[in-house]
Structure 1
Amino acid sequence: MESLSNALSTLSGWVWGPVMLILLLGTGVYLTAGLRGIPQRKLIYGFRMLFAGRRATTHPGDITPFQALATALSATVGTGNIAGVATAIHLGGPGAVFWMWVTALVGMATKYGEAVLAVNYRQTNALGGHVGGPMYYIRNGLGANWKWLAFLFALFATIAAFGIGNTVQSNSVSQVLAESRWSIPSWLTGLVLAIGVGAVILGGVQRLARVTEKLVPFMAIIYVVGALAVLVLNAEAVPGAFATIVSDAFTGTAAAGGFAGAGVLMAIRFGVARGIFSNEAGLGSAPIAHAAARTDSPVRQGVVAMLGTFIDTIIVCTMTALVIVSTGVWSSDATGAALSADAFTTGMPGPGGLIVSFGLVVFAFSTMLAWSYYGERTAEYLLGSRVIQPYRLAWVIAVFVGAVFPLDLIWLIADVMNALMAVPNLIALLLLSPVIFRLTREYFGR
């Protein structure tokens, strides 16, 4: 078992190495250039389409455009916004946050392209629902000779879902609550989570969408307002925090306190890696949700989809980063969620720590909901619609299992699968980029 763990750890380090990060970031840069910055320039237009999409439409699809974005956001606004940001700062210094911003800006083009292709190549399944995502735009867009690549994406995503989107999340919640002042038993946390998740996902995508469209704004607003309260209490340190983030991005960070120091390359590496981990631009998960949106235009859903990257990283991750840097705890030897908790507690003694606990629990719960849909759709692609109900039951059981058993090996497997599912998706994005560019020119040309 130890040798397998070591092998997986080595493989994880390789697949998430410089080549993968360059491929992910490079795809975003290429799409941004090919689209002439339209995803970034049309940010306000995207918000207009988002709020217009709150109303039910008669266009083909299963859920509203707003619900599709809420579902995608419920997957990305997760532990990466709390623990991931803290880890990036711990390993790469405050400058890593700047490179998270850069990754998000070019990632908007990646997320836009994914949604455009997902809607353009979607189809209906045996139950009459609208399905799409990388496996469908690979098969339907690139042709039968590329079906093997679509199969690989679906396989990797199905496996990754049970790890990064299920057991890892319930395990994180059970640990947080077991170590909290309430000392809640892991089995009780697992039982409550399993019942809550089951009550939502057993009702299908419509019920899931109705829950996420209410849950995501609520949890994001509570967390951002809590972070803003900390920043207001430490307002004099906020300008300096911004200055430190920008300057350290190009100069590196000297050793201080328990922080060992980091060069510019480390800031770039961990900023890009954690930025992508947080917003999932390029991984191919979000377009599965956007393919179900009620819309008659791939581009209109694309401008809604790109908002997910902006909201997740530029807004939510930035709040966490500013709290960590402005309170000065970033130079301690803490990392992950513990570092974020220290920062919030230092900035606002008493309720500060509760904000982090709330964020971790609710963010993880929403991630389990969204990834259940992603995994369900990829499993359906592999095995057909007959797998849907058994899959949902297996998902609920896995939530409980993840909460009560150690998951070191599962973490590593999920990490590897998460990287591997990005490769087929990025290949498809690059090969189908002329379709993205053409549809965009035609839409905005009108």
Structure 2
Amino acid sequence: MSPTHVLVLNSGSSSVKYQLLDMRDSSRLATGLVERIGEQTSRIKHTVAATGDTREQNGPIADHQAALKAVAEELAWDGLGLDSPELAAIGHRVVHGGMFFSEPTVIDDAVLTEIERLIPVAPLHNPANLTGIRTAMALRPDLPQVAVFDTAFHTTMPEQAARYAIDTKIADRHRIRRYGFHGTSHAYVSRETARLLGRAPEDVNVIVLHLGNGASASAVRGGRCVDTSMGLTPLEGLVMGTRSGDLDPAVIFHLERVGGMSMDEIDTLLNKRSGLFGLCGDNDMREIQRRIDEGDAQARLAFDIYIHRLKKYIGAYYAVLGRVDAIAFTAGVGENAAPVREAAVAGLEGLGLAVDGDLNAVRGDGPRLISPAGARVAVAVVPTDEELEIATQTYALVGKGS
């Protein structure tokens, strides 16, 4: 019998998230996180999915090679190690694939070179992704390793959506265009929304709202992305936890010329000290809601700015699609913050959008509708599962080659 297990790795600059799945039924066998890599206070937390039992170890983990060896040891403890004959492939999340990668790709030297060439447009993510890939390849050089790109789902955007209105020669020389991110989530959620409606993805137009600490929206027509809110980098678009989202570019010139800030300082400001955090000092929507309930005006203003930007994108993507069958909320805020969902569609009844207060207040683990019965546009909560999407794409590709 052919191997059916897929290990999904998401390598960050100082962390590795992992999940081991059995693709016979898409079930999880183990999940875990290695964090604070390179510090004395490193930690690995490993959970056996079948029992829910969790093991935790604390102590220095020097680098990603040591981190993946620790992951392998934890999996081996459960009889699921990297040397298991059941392991079919390792799937890697790669944030930026540019225009070169529009689908999952078996990793070879040429793929590694191209991912490396994209570092200038993803300096925080692609280097860490590369480190995880190279380490895994060294541990299992005989095993297929597959890259699944955050940008791939958005490569179907037409040129009028992907191009910035700047000199085309300069844009092409420096690869400046709108790439979009969170693609695995948008792909998974748009497809699951169609399933929830009992329709085929190619028959459904969906606006997907991926609302976490990072946030993005996408317009999906018949299973293909035609527009998305993030751009060259994940900084464009919605108000996020610590990122500004859309901004007049002249603000940057003003901060440099009048404010005396360096480019690095402005970069830090817009990516790490803006968004909800910059507006009210908190980037956790639960804490912001608590402060609103206590009458905090600054928290209320931050929430209102967040919702205002969200509504603008809903309206814009409604216009882009022409017909909208569903709006799907997903990710940490989208799945759990009922006040955000309610506020986002409030006043949009003329577009066929509304939520049922009782349905919206119910918490649940699975996909569910929160719009009133008979609503012209379905409003749904659809939990995302990026790891399952990466595993599914990885296994489908490996299966094709077997």
Larger relative contact order (CA 8 Å, sep ≥ 6):
1
Compare the two structures and name the one with the higher helix fraction. 1
Structure label with greater radius of gyration:
2
Fold conserved between structures, TM > 0.5: no
TM-score by length of 1: 0.27
